Amino acid sequence: MRNTLLLLPLIALALSVAGTPGAPAPARVPVDTTAKARTLVRWAREGLADSSVEARQRAIRDLEAALRLRPDDPEAWRTLGRAYELGRYGQMARDCYRRSIRLAPRQPDGYMELGMAWKRAWIRTQDTTALDQAIAAFDTVTALRPYGADGWLRLVPLRYEHGDPAGAAAAAERALAGRPRRPAALLAVAYTAFRRGEIERADSAFAAAIPRLDPTLRALFDRPSWIGLGRARGGSARADAPADPWAGLDPDPTSPQNELKLEYWSRVAHAYFVFYDPLWPELDSRAETYVRYGPPRGVELNPPGVSKVFSYGIPRSSPGQILADYPLDALVWSYPDLGMRIVLQDRSLTGRFTPAATKDFDPQSVPDPRVLARRGDLVALDGGLAVFSTLPPREQRLDLQGVVARFEGAGRPRLVAQVQAPGQPGDTLLAKWVVLDSTGREISREARPLAVSACDPTRRRVTEFASELPPGAFQVVVSVRDMHRRRGLFRAPAALAPLTPALALSDVLLTCGDPALMSSGGTVRLEANIEGRVAGRQPLYAYFEIYRLAAGGDGLAHFEYEYTVRRVPPEATGLARLFVFPEAPVISRTSREEAQVGTLRRQFVSVPTQSLAAGRYRLEVRVRDLATGAQARGTAEFTRE
């Protein structure tokens, strides 16, 4: 009884603490779900900095837990999308970015991430629909943030690849004016300016942009080892490499800019903007191939006839190996103009492409040497490791034609160059010429506008350059530009022989128009038939000069000339070249005896060609001095249409 009485106070105390049945429970400390969700997102970001699969999977679990607490957090959805992209789950990543956009439609970040995801899909699959989606997403970014730089910068390469170089240039200008200031924006301005023919602006913009770039990217511009300049065969830097690796490689020495270097820089810039990805910051063989050969004519993913497996030998305890086949993605870049097709393989199935692994050398993986040999407009570096065109792109190109002829001046050889370009009477075209000696040293330079052609005044403009030079080997370069930034380039070698006291003949120059209209008062104004074509009932006109005719007993120089026309036979190959004989003359005529005062004769000839069938012919001219019996010869080829 006594023990029971002692327990009553304890029972009362317990009831006072527990409360009576049906009474409310004591209040619990509330859990801050927002703070917990933010903590999980922060942990996930830290985990994504680790490249291991385990860290990425742990980050995805943290993000999924955060979204269960805060499903309306757009930043968590974007972070989850990046985590999925690192795991190569592109569709799931894009779904996350769309969810982020629905939650925050006025924030550009979700559209930026979605645009990058579509760009990755386009680069990997070559699906043009993905390219359109990427452009649309970045367009939305620029609409929401018109004064921001990043959205415009992302648009530059995509608009260019979409066939809109003007739109790409406009996007680059907006990126340059936007915030924050990005060194890459000036790089975008430089390469889009070059691709549009603005050579001077591109050169100055590249010069300003390259020193500001990240050192790793800058090295691609300063040390162009991808194309074999500034390195030895083994890949190491050359101790004897010139300070300027581009020395001697300028296709147009008439301008102060080196167009080949600018083309290389524009390739590097475009490859960087297309293939560089912040999630995987390393350029692979696609960028290297683009820099070496420029844009391909076509790109195919896993086309028929290309192997889609990679065999790998697995060693085992007993002698021999077990060959296992692993799937891969094959990307084929076609360059039909170079006779080349390059196969790149993604053996890890992660979107990183490397050159195809083959047991034997694939001749199609390098430019065809026969193509390079017959294409005078191409420059091949290091045996075809890289190829560049000496001519502007087709849409910026003036179809410039030219001819070089050798005459004699006052005691020295005289070199004459005529060029013609398409143009109407109201057009303004400027021509520049440079003559280089065998060491590349500049010997002569001049500039002048093109005049209306006397032979085709409504469609052509023409100009002539001339210079007296010492004997030797030279390179003649003439460039023409018009007011629409179109360019044309003409290059030709010229070898000038020393003057001799013997009878000599200049080059035979085909001309257009009536010779009676080309000479007046002892002067001759020639307009060359540069194309060397004659049609209809029109005769063939040719001009040449005879030097050092001897005076006869009457003080006059007496001579005669003969011209012969022969068909040019088709080019023989193989053993047939040993049995090529001259074609029989189809036209042959000898002039009557001519007499004149003086040792120099300027002579036109008119050759009737109405009876000739269509084809290629050679005009041969022979001059004989009747006082001494000395002879001189010259030739010119033409086409009868």
**Statement: residue 189 has pLDDT above 70:** yes
The residue type of 78 is R
Considering its fold, how many domains does the chain have in total?
4
Give me the mean pLDDT over the 141-156 stretch: 98
| Last residue in a domain, options 441, 468, 498 | 498
Residues 137 and 259 placed together within one structural domain of the fold: yes
Residues 137 and 165 placed together within one structural domain of the fold: yes
Whether 17 is covered by a domain: the verdict is no
Residues 557 and 634 placed together within one structural domain of the fold: yes
Question: What is the CATH classification number for the domain harbouring 494?
Answer: 2.60.40.10
Q: What is the pLDDT of residue 243?
A: 67
**Mean pLDDT (the chain, rounded):** 89
Q: What is the pLDDT of residue 362?
A: 86
Burial of 108 (0-12, 13-18, 19+ CB in 10 A): buried
**Statement: residue 241 has pLDDT above 70:** no
443 near 437, Cβ under 8 Å? yes
DSSP letters along 404-464, please?
EEEEE-SSSEEEEEEEEEE--TT--EEEEEEEEETTS-EEEEEEEE-EE-SSSTTTEEEEE
Alpha-carbon dihedral sign for residues 40, 46, 49, 55: negative
Residues 403 and 515 placed together within one structural domain of the fold: no
Q: What is the pLDDT of residue 416?
A: 97
**Statement: residue 203 has pLDDT above 60:** yes
| Last residue in a domain, options 469, 498, 527 | 498
Give me the mean pLDDT over the 3-18 stretch: 40
Q: What is the pLDDT of residue 18?
A: 42
Q: What is the pLDDT of residue 269?
A: 98
- Cα–Cα distance measured from residue 178 to residue 140, given in angstroms and rounded to the nearest whole number: 16
Residues 153 and 102 placed together within one structural domain of the fold: yes
Between residues 161 and 357, the one the model is more confident about: 161
DSSP state of 24: P
Q: What is the pLDDT of residue 578?
A: 52
Q: What is the pLDDT of residue 583?
A: 74
Give me the mean pLDDT over the 599-609 stretch: 94
- How far apart, in Å, do the first and last CA atoms of the chain sit? 139
Q: What is the pLDDT of residue 231?
A: 54
| Residue 568: band (very low, low, confident or very high) from pLDDT cuts 50, 70, 90 | very high
Whether 341 is covered by a domain: the verdict is yes
Q: What is the pLDDT of residue 229?
A: 82
Reported as a single tens digit per residue, the pLDDT across 393-408 is 888 999 999 999 999 9
Q: What is the pLDDT of residue 47?
A: 92
Supply the pTM of this predicted model: 0.85
Q: What is the pLDDT of residue 225?
A: 84
Whether 20 is covered by a domain: the verdict is no
DSSP letters along 255-266, please?
SSS-HHHHHHHH
DSSP letters along 573-593, please?
-GGGGGG--PPPEEEEEEPPP
| Residue 13: band (very low, low, confident or very high) from pLDDT cuts 50, 70, 90 | very low
For the chain, give percent helix, strand, coil, nearest 5.
35, 30, 35
Residues 599 and 641 placed together within one structural domain of the fold: yes
Q: What is the pLDDT of residue 496?
A: 97
Whether 560 is covered by a domain: the verdict is yes
Q: Measured between alpha carbons, how far is residue 103 from residues 81, 109, 150 in Å? A: 14, 12, 22
Burial of 327 (0-12, 13-18, 19+ CB in 10 A): exposed
| Residue 304: band (very low, low, confident or very high) from pLDDT cuts 50, 70, 90 | very high
| Residue 318: band (very low, low, confident or very high) from pLDDT cuts 50, 70, 90 | low
Give me the mean pLDDT over the 272-295 stretch: 94
Q: What is the pLDDT of residue 641?
A: 93
Give me the mean pLDDT over the 248-270 stretch: 95
Residue 279 dihedral angles phi and psi, to the nearest 5°:
-70, -30
**Statement: residue 315 has pLDDT above 70:** no
Q: Which of 35-39, 98-102, 285-289, 308-312 has the lowest mean pLDDT?
A: 308-312
Residues 350 and 431 placed together within one structural domain of the fold: no
Contacts from 96-100 at CB under 8 Å and sequence distance 24+? 99/74, 100/74, 100/75
Task: Report residue 114 as tokens.
Answer: 């979605």
Task: Report residue 153 as tokens.
Answer: 């910068």
Reported as a single tens digit per residue, the pLDDT across 76-88 is 999 999 999 999 9
Reported as a single tens digit per residue, the pLDDT across 330-354 is 999 999 999 999 999 999 888 899 9
Q: What is the pLDDT of residue 349?
A: 87
| Last residue in a domain, options 498, 513, 532 | 498
Residues 39 and 62 placed together within one structural domain of the fold: yes
Whether 439 is covered by a domain: the verdict is yes
| Residue 20: band (very low, low, confident or very high) from pLDDT cuts 50, 70, 90 | very low
348 near 284, Cβ under 8 Å? no
| Residue 31: band (very low, low, confident or very high) from pLDDT cuts 50, 70, 90 | low
Q: Measured between alpha carbons, how far is residue 202 from residues 194, 206, 236, 249, 257 in Å? A: 5, 6, 30, 18, 9
- Kind and range of the H or E run holding 558: strand 557-567
Residues 77 and 215 placed together within one structural domain of the fold: yes
Cis ω before 281 (30° cut-off from 0):
no
| Residue 577: band (very low, low, confident or very high) from pLDDT cuts 50, 70, 90 | low
Give percent above pLDDT 70 in the chain: 89
Whether 28 is covered by a domain: the verdict is no
Residues 467 and 385 placed together within one structural domain of the fold: no
DSSP state of 618: E
Q: What is the pLDDT of residue 321?
A: 60
Q: What is the pLDDT of residue 141?
A: 98
Whether 11 is covered by a domain: the verdict is no
Whether 267 is covered by a domain: the verdict is yes
Residues 211 and 88 placed together within one structural domain of the fold: yes
Task: Report residue 523 as tokens.
Answer: 């002067």
| Residue 572: band (very low, low, confident or very high) from pLDDT cuts 50, 70, 90 | low
Q: At a CB cut-off of 8 Å and minimum separation 6, what does 561 contact?
A: 546, 590, 591, 594, 603, 605, 621, 622, 623, 624
Helix (H, G, I), strand (E, B) or coil at 13: helix
Q: State how far Cα 127 lies from the chain centre.
A: 23
**Statement: residue 220 has pLDDT above 80:** yes
* Structural domain harbouring 439: 395-498
Residues 201 and 271 placed together within one structural domain of the fold: yes
Q: What is the pLDDT of residue 323?
A: 66
Reported as a single tens digit per residue, the pLDDT across 414-458 is 999 999 999 987 899 999 999 999 999 999 999 999 999 988 889
- Cα–Cα distance measured from residue 435 to residue 492, given in angstroms and rounded to the nearest whole number: 10
- Cα–Cα distance measured from residue 494 to residue 11, given in angstroms and rounded to the nearest whole number: 121
Q: How many CB atoms lie within 10 A of CB 183?
A: 15
**Statement: residue 506 has pLDDT above 50:** yes
Cα angle 451, 394, 404 (rounded to 5 degrees) comes to 45
- Cα–Cα distance measured from residue 374 to residue 321, given in angstroms and rounded to the nearest whole number: 47
- Cα–Cα distance measured from residue 251 to residue 356, given in angstroms and rounded to the nearest whole number: 33
